[in-house]
Amino acid sequence: MKREMIYEGKAKKVYKTEDKDKYIVEYKDDATAFNGKKKGTIVGKGVVNNKMSAAMFMLLEEKGIPTHMIELINDRESLVKAVEILPIEVIVRNVAAGSLAKRLGLEEGTVMDKTVLEFCYKNDDLGDPMINEYHIAALNLASEEQLKEVRKYAFNINEVLMNYFQERGIRLIDFKLEFGLYKGEVILADEISPDTCRLWDAKSNKKLDKDRFRRDLGQVEETYQEVLKRIQ
């Protein structure tokens, strides 16, 4: 049973339930970019992100990666474990795009020789600045053992998702992950969706993600629906 809301972010609302170990996550159609400077609505986005995240979490669970997912409740809501989120965003990059391409002077679409793992400090007021493992230790954002688990899971998730999307004619360019603690264990949380992944069509390199909203490329709603259709 849904009780009081305890958190509202850019894309989701989180509610308590009668069980202290379980939350309900409700996905919204609100869209933001550039740290909230650009705002809008993508009709049906909440449904796509909820259903896709549930499917991705269940896939990863089958592959031995622990997640916060319990069950899909309806089109927009999921029941999840009550995770204490680590204040670290983990970015996995297979192909140069977005901010990395700009920072390193690489042409967008350049396939890198090695997968790149980046960390950002999850802090809206600071604009989620990039940090490294020394910052994480200095700020006590995660223990050395927790960070070791995060790194291991991030690379494992990348391997599973790359193969999964490839079979569906999609290139996994990069994606963001968030992890949390549940009863002392590091598990995957947040979402896996066109909001948090860069996904390109394998043949045409058409962008199938939130970059269509960020860059005013059009066909935003249709693209989100296309991604959901491919994974279903």
Which residue, 81, 97, 124, sits at the end of a domain? Answer: 81
Q: Looking at the structure, tell me whether residues 116 and 36 fall in a common domain.
A: no
**pLDDT of the residue at 223:** 98
CATH number at residue 57: 3.30.200.20
pLDDT for residue 35 is more than 80: no
The model's pTM is: 0.95
pLDDT confidence band for 37 (50 / 70 / 90): confident
User: Which residues, including other chains, have CB under 8 Å from residue 165's CB and lie 6 or more apart?
Assistant: 171, 172, 199
Mean pLDDT across the chain, nearest whole number?
Answer: 97
What's the whole-number mean pLDDT along residues 53-77?
Answer: 98
Q: Looking at the structure, tell me whether residues 143 and 108 fall in a common domain.
A: yes
CATH number at residue 193: 3.30.470.20
Measured in residues, the chain has a length of: 232
**pLDDT of the residue at 194:** 98
State the DSSP H helix or E strand holding residue 154, giving kind and residue range, or none if neither. Answer: helix 144-166
The radius of gyration of the chain's CA atoms, rounded to the nearest angstrom, is: 17
**pLDDT of the residue at 36:** 75
Provide φ and ψ at 229, rounded to 5°.
Answer: -60, -40
34: left (phi over 0), alpha (psi -120 to 50) or beta: left
State the DSSP H helix or E strand holding residue 54, giving kind and residue range, or none if neither. Answer: helix 45-62
What's the whole-number mean pLDDT along residues 26-30?
Answer: 97
Which residue, 81, 107, 141, sits at the end of a domain? Answer: 81
Domain that holds residue 22: 5-81
Q: Are 173 and 200 in contact (CB under 8 A)?
A: yes
**What pLDDT digit, counting tens, does each position of 162-217 carry?**
999 999 999 999 999 999 999 999 999 999 999 999 999 999 999 999 999 999 99
pLDDT for residue 120 is more than 80: yes
pLDDT confidence band for 34 (50 / 70 / 90): confident
**Amino acid at position 101, single letter:** A
**Percentage, residues of the chain above pLDDT 70:** 100
Q: Are 108 and 171 in contact (CB under 8 A)?
A: no
Q: How many domains does the chain have?
A: 2
Provide φ and ψ at 70, rounded to 5°.
Answer: -110, -60
Quote the CA–CA distance of 91 and 93 in Å, as a whole number. 6
Which residue, 54, 81, 108, sits at the end of a domain? Answer: 81
What's the whole-number mean pLDDT along residues 107-111?
Answer: 97
Provide φ and ψ at 173, rounded to 5°.
Answer: -80, -55
